[in-house]
Amino acid sequence: MLHDASTQARYADDVAAAVLALATRHGIARQRPRLIGLSGLQGSGKSTLAAQIVRMAEGSGIAALAMSIDDFYLGRSARRQLAHTVHPLLATRGVPGTHDVALLLRTLDALRTATARQPAYVPRFDKGRDTRIAPSRWRQVRRMPDLVILEGWCIGIPPQAASQLRRYVNAFERDADGDARWRSWVNAQLQAHYIALWQRLDCLAMLQAPAYAVVARWRDEQERALRRRHAPRAMSPAALTRFLMHYERLSRHALATLPARADLRIVLDERRGVRRIVAREP
């Protein structure tokens, strides 16, 4: 496949158009926003695609809003409390159980009734400071959007079977979670809280990586850009390797389970080029 700029731009437009067509297949319900989940592993291009879908939707007269599940992370202090009461690994944000799902659900409810006089407020998370930005600085939405895109690395992931939890997937789990307490708690959060969120999705689109092995390279591309700018939150290669091990279990689980669950799959190659777009039959 060619990867020149014009080819990539054309494929990006094709992908955004395919996701937008999926979201509007049955028209736009004016009683509530249509909610589309956009799932993809770290570095797969979710945020870029979500922004492009919004631009394309608004060009068609459809009011659209993109939200990231990352903006609903629990702040440092809340995660420290989890680390103290449940497991030390929960000090690191990312896995299910480190998001404020109740806040996300309330935000989705507020978007249904958003007006100029009673706007909805969409949280923002500052990854550099590792905490949520003050509510006074949250985005205000002054009318109900027709379409909401919720993007994130774990969107739509189902819980694992108990038998899967017994086996560690990397040396990090072996050494830091030998008794499976952390991963079992994370799995329980998926079952208890995240499934209710996934059930709200009208449809699910997946940016499908060719294999888990490419994720480290994709994510390191982002970190290298930060390191070149001497950004304070840039991770060294060693720190990034350890960080990604927190996500490896559910990342592999996503690649194994989401293709059969997704309404639309954007199949990527190792350079994030689009190999094909596969829609599930209605």
**111 vs 241, which has greater pLDDT?**
111
Q: Grade residue 241 by pLDDT with cuts at 50, 70 and 90.
A: confident
pLDDT in tens, 91-108: 999 999 999 999 999 999
Rounded (10°) CA dihedral 154, 125, 54, 15: -30
Rounded CA gap, 186 and 208, in Å? 23
Q: Does pLDDT of 163 surpass 50? A: yes
CB count in 10 Å sphere of residue 153: 23
What's the CATH code of the domain at 114?
3.40.50.300
Residue 66 domain-assigned?
yes
Residue 5 domain-assigned?
no
pLDDT at 7: 45
Q: Does pLDDT of 65 surpass 90? A: yes
Residue 273 domain-assigned?
no
Q: Is 210:274 a contact under the CB 8 Å cutoff?
A: no
DSSP letters along 131-150, please?
EEPPGGGSEEE-S--SEEEE
Tokens of residue 260, six digits = 């059969």
Q: Grade residue 248 by pLDDT with cuts at 50, 70 and 90.
A: very high
Residue 274 domain-assigned?
no
Residue 2 domain-assigned?
no
Instruction: Domain of residue 258: give its range.
Output: 12-155+162-267
DSSP, collapsed to helix, strand or coil, labels residue 278 as strand
By C-alpha distance, which of 275, 164, 150, 159 is closest to 214?
A: 275
Residue 1 domain-assigned?
no
Enclosing H/E stretch for 207:
strand 203-208
Residue 50 domain-assigned?
yes
Rounded (10°) CA dihedral 51, 52, 56, 58: 10
The structural domain count of the chain equals 1
pLDDT in tens, 29-46: 667 899 999 999 988 999
**C-alpha torsion sign, points 153, 159, 163, 168:** positive
Q: Does pLDDT of 26 surpass 80? A: no
By C-alpha distance, which of 50, 262, 44, 16 is closest to 156?
A: 262
Rounded CA gap, 1 and 45, in Å? 18
Enclosing H/E stretch for 65:
strand 64-68
pLDDT in tens, 83-92: 999 999 999 9
- Cα distance from N-terminal residue to C-terminal residue, the chain: 29
Residue 126 domain-assigned?
yes
Q: Is 98:87 a contact under the CB 8 Å cutoff?
A: no
